[in-house]
Chain A
Amino acid sequence: MSKILDDLRYADSHEWVKLEGDIATVGITDYAQHALGNIVYVDMPEVGDEVTQGEDFGAVESVKAASDLLSPVSGEVVEINEALEDEPELVNQDAFANWIMKVKVSDPSELENLLDAAAYAKVCEE
């Protein structure tokens, strides 16, 4: 069974987000890393890029497939996880510890469009 953390919000496209102040930390879920298999590349945005809720901000490439990353929030990218440039497999090791980007959110109320842990668990079961 894949791990789901209670204190995060989730998109049905398998990204997680954690909001602290107006900074949202974004990554992919344990379910997603498991479904993708060994990850070989994470295509990340650049600091300063604008991202929009529901639109792609990058991609994850595994030995099986390449998959778009859809941003769970809108705002400006303030930091990316540079460690993933050389070691994308960190996402396989712990998808929740190894976040992909941090976003200064323009509209915190957007998080209400996302799923809580229980609702996301249901998406994974389907």
Chain B
Amino acid sequence: MKTYDKLIFELSRPGRKGYSLPADNFGVNGIGEIPADLLRKNEAELPEVSELEVVRHFTNLSSKNFGVDTGFYPLGSCTMKYNPKINEEVAALPAFNNIHPLQDATTAQGALELYYNLQKMLSNIAGLAEFTLNPYAGAHGELTGLMVMRQYHMSRGDNKRTKVIVPNSAHGTNPASAMVAGLEVVEVKSKPNGSIDVEDLRPLLDETIAGIMMTNPNTLGMFETEILEIAKLVHEAGGLLYYDGANLNPLLGKVRPGDMGFDIMHINLHKTFSTPHGGGGPGSGPVGVAKHLVEFLPNPRVKKGEDGKFFVDFGEESLGSVSTFFGNFGVMMKAYAYILTLGKENIRNVGPLATLNANYIKESLKDDYLLPIEGVCKHEFVFDGLKDKSTGVTTLNVAKRLLDYGFHAPTIYFPLLFHESMMIEPTETESKETLDDFIEVMHKVAKEARETPEEVINAPLTTIVRKLDETGAAKNPILSYRALKEAEK
């Protein structure tokens, strides 16, 4: 079954069925009162398959999936930590699962309490006043946060503030979110270690600056040691500081963005708080704000009355709604379970262990891979490709070769500060044995690059599909079965 590569449409045979519907006792043929012009004229072209075929199809496909449950996944900036199974159990509890967002708040007190408690926990972890859990994912959180920023300035009649400063080492979502929020992006240079160049920042700060977006540690995994100075300068110029929470993992329970001077931040529950992501589940991007920004948070909000009961509130000064109802509630339940499972003390071990693991790999591999920034990193670090540049083997080749050895590739060609970036983030949940296996394979690939480079350049050699045509995929994407059929004609 190793070569199984069928689409379910290809299994379809006319008339084959895996179900039987009960008799139509109402004589409406399932159509009821739907107006004639809204009814489809032709039958839906659904695959006609038996139950066994469906089960085999998806079981076979699932065995081809690579996830944290199958192997090491050092994808930098993505925090691919283990997703504890108890989280799934909690999220599947019928008492939460079967409620409807429109039912009366008095009948959903448990769900509202969970939302309320989780936002309080995140506020404590972040050192901020309050969180909304409504945004669906990280970039959605960024957009929401920037809308808060804009709303704040406009509420003060300070309408000139239309620019957001973004470092050239930033996650690509930062400038993209600023554009979508209707703000202009101004780039600030970073120093060789990825930290913001304060001298380059200073002249940019004027009365047109709405704020700055930063991540700390930065995208090279280095802590921004001048953050307090940067916060002071931005605040003095009337701007706000936005914290991109993608790199929160190493700071968890140790350092709080609020204490560094950040006014707004988002957290990726699907990264830092262990919920599945990357094809494994939806995200969640809660946004936290300092006290002076709470009133601008999106609606609806969950509040606790003096009688101890929870209720849903719609604020007048709010920037409005950013999601249907309360966002991805299932993800919140998993993150809540994760925080409670670890507890206040253990959550402080996450960052140091993630940091230790990253530094262990970095120091073990820097003889074969080019480390552009020396020093202790946080949860992740960046190599600039192989140290020996004479072999012709690129970062892409190394990444593909890792697949042959059963590892997921690291993030490659990001950040853009180097040509051959290879960004490795092991997370805290991996054992020393797994890290040693990875280090051994990375050394082996470097040796192959020197001795039999064509083997690495032609990788992957053992995967179900070999090297993919990335240019073709970008230029002529085939995204559906129908498009595939068209292309085959």
Contacts and interface: CB of A to CB of B under 8 A. Distances in A.
A63 B396 CA distance: 11
A41 interface: yes
A65 B470 contact: no
Nearest to B412: A64
B25 interface: no
Interface SS majority for chain B: helix
Contacts of A61: 474
Which of A61, A63, A89 lies at the interface centre, i.e. has the most chain B CB atoms within 10 A of its CB? A63
Contacts of A88: 475
Interface in B444-477: 470-471, 474-475
A41 B413 contact: no
A40 B413 contact: no
A5 interface: no
A43 B251 CA distance: 40
A52 interface: no
A26 to B, nearest CB: 22
A35 interface: yes
B474 A40 contact: yes
A64 B413 contact: yes
B419 interface: yes
A63 B419 CA distance: 13
B167 to A, nearest CB: 16
Contacts of B475: 40-41, 88
Nearest to B414: A65
B484 interface: no
A53 interface: no
Contacts of A89: 471
A63 B474 contact: yes
Interface in B415-453: 416, 419
A38 interface: yes
Nearest to B474: A40
Nearest to B471: A38
Contact of B471 (A35, A40, A65): A40
Contact of B419 (A35, A38, A40, A41): A35
Nearest to A66: B172
B397 to A, nearest CB: 12
Interface string A29-61: 000000101101100000000000000000001
B416 A63 contact: no
A89 B476 CA distance: 13
Nearest to B476: A40
Contacts of B413: 37, 64-65
Given A37-B413, A41-B474, A65-B414, 13 more contacts: A35-B419, A38-B470, A38-B471, A40-B471, A40-B474, A40-B475, A41-B475, A63-B470, A63-B471, A64-B413, A65-B413, A65-B416, A89-B471
20 contacts: A35-B419, A37-B396, A37-B413, A38-B470, A38-B471, A40-B471, A40-B474, A40-B475, A41-B474, A41-B475, A61-B474, A63-B470, A63-B471, A63-B474, A64-B413, A65-B413, A65-B414, A65-B416, A88-B475, A89-B471
